[in-house]
């Protein structure tokens, strides 16, 4: 976290479900250590966490009921050793709870000072619109950000389903899985599983079944992208991250580095973003856009650039977390 912060990263994401709360505990210890060592102030950091899955079994310990949203937030804050988080997410939609209750619950958390903003993760556009409509009717705070999966192989929501929300709601995105579970890093080339990789862990065998089975085309596409990465003198992972950052709808790309060296490599993607020309984007599109997933037409990408970039230029500076 210290290396990330010193490299310009200020957003650190977590969730109650990650390692059944242990991830929040570890991050909380790191935050406090950074405060003691004057690495950062609390105001420097944007800390986010997510609620839904809970940390222990029990019908009241998961979901988006007002009870779990409030109690889950308090528990997360204790593990993080914080008085508040900057953003609290609904980690998944909950069809068993009325949307009005969900909106009121997250507003209660904000009113109590436990969070500044709330957002959603893996919600449909219709669900987000419903929540925003209820918030407007009740004079409450809307969800302001969504955390969807986004990479070359998972694109529908970011590039089409949410399109109207960017205009009507000013929706921001903190996207996850930019490397498609590691496939776009190139480490699984030829469907070989390196020792110590995610695919070698028993709990992740469902990914092996999927990525080496019905979606084996993704491994082949990742192999083809290696040539473009070599032209840009970068790694496959850096190319995949830069591709995500190139979309102006993406507010932040969430990294899942497991070592300082991997973090440093990932940050090298920043130098690749301005080098992704229209010609290169079209070549990437031809490799990954049309195999089993809806394509993101380069003409559509260009129209977004023409519409959004002039708007961004009105701001004094543009920051990537």
Distance CA 100, CA 82 (A): 28
- Is residue 79 a contact partner of residue 85, using CB atoms and an 8 Å limit? no
Handedness of CA 286, 299, 214, 91 (dihedral sign): positive
| β-pair partners for 85 | 115
- Is residue 59 a contact partner of residue 65, using CB atoms and an 8 Å limit? no
* Angle ∠(45,46,49) on CA atoms, nearest 5: 130
Question: Burial, 93: exposed, middle or buried (Cβ in 10 Å; 0-12, 13-18, 19+)?
Answer: buried
Share of the chain above pLDDT 70, in %: 90
Q: Which residues are CB-neighbours of 65 under 8 A, at least 6 positions away?
A: 94, 97, 101, 105
Distance CA 56, CA 60 (A): 10
Residues 128-146 have pLDDT tens digits of 999 999 999 999 999 999 9
Domains along the chain with CATH numbers: 1-147 (3.20.20.100)
DSSP reduced 3-state for 283 = helix
Tell me how far CA of residue 42 lies from CA of 34, 35, 181, 311, in angstroms. 9, 7, 31, 30
Q: Which of 272, 321, 276 is nearest to 301 (CA)?
A: 276
Tell me how far CA of residue 155 lies from CA of 27, 162, 294, in angstroms. 30, 11, 7
Tens place of pLDDT per residue across the chain (321 aa): 999 999 999 999 999 999 999 999 999 999 999 999 999 999 999 999 999 999 999 999 999 999 999 999 999 999 999 999 999 999 999 999 999 999 999 999 999 999 999 999 999 999 999 999 999 999 999 999 999 999 999 999 999 999 999 999 999 999 999 999 899 998 888 888 888 787 878 877 888 788 888 888 899 999 999 999 999 999 999 999 999 999 999 999 999 888 999 999 999 999 999 999 999 999 999 997 654 444 444 444 444 444 433 433 443 333 333
Unique residue bearing structure tokens 């079944």: 209
Q: Which is the catalytic residue, given 18, 84, 166, 204?
A: 18
Please confirm, yes or no, whether 89 is among the known catalytic residues: no
Neighbouring C-alpha atoms within 13 Å toward the C-beta of 85: 32
Read off the pTM: 0.86
Residues 82-104 have pLDDT tens digits of 999 999 999 999 999 999 999 99
Q: Which helix (H) or strand (E) holds 86?
A: strand 85-90
Q: Token digits for 68?
A: 């779990």
Residues 100-110 have pLDDT tens digits of 999 999 999 99
Q: Which of 196, 173, 174 is nearest to 262 (CA)?
A: 196
């Amino acid at each position: 976290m210290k290396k990330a912060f010193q490299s310009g990263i200020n957003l650190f994401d977590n969730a109650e479900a990650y390692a059944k709360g242990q991830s929040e505990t570890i991050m909380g210890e790191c935050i406090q250590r950074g405060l003691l060592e004057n690495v950062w102030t609390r105001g420097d950091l944007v800390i986010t966490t997510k609620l839904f899955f809970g940390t222990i079994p029990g019908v009241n310990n998961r979901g988006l009921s007002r009870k779990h949203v409030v109690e889950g937030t308090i528990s997360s804050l204790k593990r993080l050793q914080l008085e508040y988080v900057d953003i609290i997410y609904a980690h998944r939609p909950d069809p068993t709870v009325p949307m009005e209750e969900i909106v009121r619950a997250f507003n209660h958390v904000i009113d109590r000072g436990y969070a500044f903003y709330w957002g959603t993760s893996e919600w449909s556009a219709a669900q987000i619109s419903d929540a925003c409509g209820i918030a407007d009717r009740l004079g409450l705070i809307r969800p302001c950000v969504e955390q969807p999966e986004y990479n070359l192989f998972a694109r529908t929501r970011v590039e089409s389903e949410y399109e109207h929300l960017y205009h009507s709601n000013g929706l921001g995105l903190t996207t996850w899985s930019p490397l498609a579970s590691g496939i776009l890093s190139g480490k699984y080339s030829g469907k070989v599983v390196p020792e110590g990789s995610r695919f070698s862990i028993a709990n992740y065998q469902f990914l092996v079944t999927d990525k080496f089975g019905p979606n084996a085309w993704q491994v082949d596409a990742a192999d083809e992208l290696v040539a473009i990465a070599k032209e840009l003198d970068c790694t496959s992972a850096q190319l995949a991250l830069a591709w995500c950052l190139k979309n102006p709808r993406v507010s932040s790309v969430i990294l899942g580095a497991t070592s300082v060296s991997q973090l440093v490599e990932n940050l090298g993607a920043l130098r690749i973003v301005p080098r992704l020309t229209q010609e290169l984007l079209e070549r990437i599109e031809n490799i990954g856009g049309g195999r089993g997933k809806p394509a993101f037409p380069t003409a559509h990408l260009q129209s977004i650039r023409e519409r959004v970039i002039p708007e961004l230029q009105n701001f004094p500076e543009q920051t990537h977390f």
